[in-house]
Structure 1
């Protein structure tokens, strides 16, 4: 099987009857790449299985665009005259797994803004009307503060609060998309996704709009929307209903993620988060010692072809990271697993790995006391933001509105540090002096 990595642009091309054709002597991998990129009926990498999505702004999307969303986009200076959302250029979507690795495969500088913030968060709290914890272990809501008006000092303190509490909520926000991206860029390199729909002219702002994907062929319904939470390998996932942590396949995975909903159903469409700090502290001390220092394999949500074995089935980007990570801002240990994208533990048998991982998934998913469920309601004409630490939490959407009542949002994710484990770090309960039960 040829391993020539020449790209399509370097190969001899000819036009015949208006169609782009390759030299018949081109390497097989180049021929396959050309076929996938030029045949609109083929879909290798789009997770939504919607090959008919065209490239560029989609005029059809404007026909179902919610009015609240349209107003926010236009007032925020977004040009939607040619369509919405903007679909990434098909020619730039990775076909082979080595192309996906190459997107971001080297170290880049990262500043942990929360590490040097005032631990009392005096500047942030003084600007707010109210700060209220939603549950004991995860989730805080801040009222009386506009995200677009934050100073750098307040952004640092907010980063630390997010990293301590897992997720922070802000209702009644006037937030232009560009300001949302600027905030993400302050916290780290903004991830620009090569596959998902984006806000036109603002790469790095992903459109979260199941109504649009469903209209374009995504098969989601009342019966199948949770299948992935029973067996992700057998059933896969539809939408974002399976418990997950974003972008675990990145060389430097996700840090802070900000989802802003500008159109919210009257009832339904909630999101649930669970704390990785608390999940770790749910484990026995002996089991913690066993897991500390272990590593696991994490995979991408999207699949690709292997250039050396293109007919051997889909391949995913794989990374090896600590199963228990230390947070660079809080210094606390947390359990870094998720059902969607954690594949196996290194150093144990496959059977042992499956047993351990399925138990760890359950610790996150079945302990209601370490979770928060958030309803996204706001005053008319305003949106709501949830900003979470995508390292020390898991989350999942709840598709109970079934597309009845529009739901639309924009998401920005800031990439963070290379994951690490510090054997001297403490768990959250240990660091805060909270009781830790000992097993006999």
Structure 2
């Protein structure tokens, strides 16, 4: 979630306008003045001097130019003001290749190059030891895609990772998400900066009494409002607290298997409305209040590599179930959220700390079949800085002939 989105997520979608907001919206009625003239792209308000030592070392080693400032903002002219502009950024379907679909099921090339493969729980979370992401060939990348699809999230500690390789790997796995508002690594517009110190400076209100619903410290799935939401998402943390700063993931496969057969049957084929974290001005009615980009997707989606069904809702970005009365939708969605949030047996919690000082840690997860939650228990006392690359995947779909994970693996539901 971007800094501006993280701040916006703390506010209600239809909150009353204050005087400053009202003046801004009235000014938008004057179409002779482009409101983007007040928004600065590029390197305004640089935070280069505040960069953690390990982050700066990574950037200097791999030739990231920090001479103009950090982080880089998108070009001013590309920043959408109106909701129709934001919607139009990706309104047409783009070709997508599922890299895990034809990979070796035994993953011999990937596992054979690793020193150790550790499953952190029975069905979610795997750590690969002794393998550098910089060095993967295409066969290993394909097998890694399948492993991520099966295990939901895969971890690599002690990574000496070139940011340009991270961006290239993201492009291999899908169409890299270039966000028109999010700050990024200089020269790499798809490499989004995830830096809570900066987010707090920009207005994110997060503290000991206000962690839930503050930015990424809430259960969420990234960018579900997109026409083609992300598949593989790669977060590399290059500044990590000595203690704390964990992230938790929950499996959408397992969440579906937790449901009764009757509820599964009811949800199969249903759709929900998913909304963007950022909000925009309605060109037709600018005084009505800010609006979000919204799209409909299946509540139960089928993964193209595994063929397994997954529950695809999240508390932060799901609005309502299509075809139900508001109160019906609210009750059902609340129950579905609780499946992810309350069942520890379908979760994995990961501490990012590397075993070798000065190196970073990567997590690659399948955003189509998961939710995640960043734990803010380090309280900002130590820096936590990372770079995320999101690879947009297929348009979500539901195959009525697909199976659940436990059904496909022949596992008992008792």
Q: Secondary structure at the match of 2:293?
A: strand
Q: Secondary structure at the match of 2:191?
A: strand
Partner of 2:73: 87
Q: Secondary structure at the match of 1:298?
A: strand
Partner of 1:155: 141
The alignment status of 1:425 with 2:399, answered yes or no, reads no
Counterpart CA distance in 1 for 2:352 and 2:380 is 15
Counterpart CA distance in 2 for 1:347 and 1:309 is 26
The alignment status of 1:335 with 2:334, answered yes or no, reads no
1:241 to 214, 217, 220: 217
Counterpart CA distance in 2 for 1:76 and 1:396 is 30
List gaps (5 residues or longer) in structure 2: 1-25
The alignment status of 1:408 with 2:385, answered yes or no, reads yes
Q: Secondary structure at the match of 1:354?
A: helix
Q: Secondary structure at the match of 2:349?
A: strand
Q: Secondary structure at the match of 1:212?
A: helix
1:216 to 199, 202, 209: 202
Q: Secondary structure at the match of 1:158?
A: helix
* Cα deviation, residue 36, structure 1: 3.1
Q: Secondary structure at the match of 1:115?
A: coil
Partner of 2:105: 119
Counterpart CA distance in 1 for 2:352 and 2:200 is 21
| Residues 223 and 393 of structure 1, relative CA distance in 2, 3 Å threshold | same
Partner of 1:38: 37
The alignment status of 1:262 with 2:234, answered yes or no, reads no
**Per-residue Cα deviation, 1:216-269 (whole angstroms, up to 9, x for no partner):** 33221111121x3xxxxxxxxx22111110111111111100000011000111
1:136 to 96, 100, 122: 122
**Per-residue Cα deviation, 1:285-309 (whole angstroms, up to 9, x for no partner):** 1111111111110111111111101
List gaps (5 residues or longer) in structure 1: 1-26, 41-53, 229-237
**The structure with more radius of gyration:** 1
**Per-residue Cα deviation, 1:299-340 (whole angstroms, up to 9, x for no partner):** 111111111011101111111110000000000000000001
Counterpart CA distance in 2 for 1:168 and 1:100 is 32
Counterpart CA distance in 2 for 1:199 and 1:151 is 25
Q: Secondary structure at the match of 2:243?
A: coil
5 Å matches for 1:185-204? 185-204=171-190
The alignment status of 1:364 with 2:350, answered yes or no, reads no
Partner of 1:394: 371
* Residues 294 and 323, structure 1, Cα contact 8 Å, conserved in 2: yes
Q: Across the two proteins, how many residue pairs are aligned to each other? A: 388
TM-score (norm 2): 0.91
Counterpart CA distance in 1 for 2:93 and 2:203 is 38
Counterpart CA distance in 2 for 1:101 and 1:355 is 29
Counterpart CA distance in 2 for 1:199 and 1:436 is 45
* Residues 130 and 144, structure 1, Cα contact 8 Å, conserved in 2: yes
* Residues 33 and 95, structure 1, Cα contact 8 Å, conserved in 2: no
Counterpart CA distance in 2 for 1:181 and 1:193 is 14
* Cα deviation, residue 137, structure 1: 2.0
Partner of 2:360: 383
Counterpart CA distance in 1 for 2:270 and 2:174 is 27
Counterpart CA distance in 1 for 2:60 and 2:164 is 12
* Cα deviation, residue 383, structure 1: 0.5
Greater than 6 Å deviation, 4+ residue runs = none
5 Å matches for 1:299-318? 299-318=275-294
* Cα deviation, residue 89, structure 1: 2.8
Alignment RMSD (CA, Å)? 1.5
Partner of 1:46: none
Counterpart CA distance in 2 for 1:274 and 1:60 is 36
* Residues 46 and 71, structure 2, Cα contact 8 Å, conserved in 1: no
* Residues 241 and 396, structure 1, Cα contact 8 Å, conserved in 2: yes
* Cα deviation, residue 30, structure 1: 6.3
Counterpart CA distance in 1 for 2:32 and 2:222 is 27
* Residues 74 and 189, structure 2, Cα contact 8 Å, conserved in 1: no
* Residues 307 and 402, structure 2, Cα contact 8 Å, conserved in 1: yes
**Per-residue Cα deviation, 1:23-62 (whole angstroms, up to 9, x for no partner):** xxxx98563693632336xxxxxxxxxxxxx531256401
Partner of 1:351: 327
2:249 to 273, 279, 282: 273
Counterpart CA distance in 2 for 1:408 and 1:345 is 36
Q: Secondary structure at the match of 2:101?
A: helix
Q: Secondary structure at the match of 1:31?
A: coil
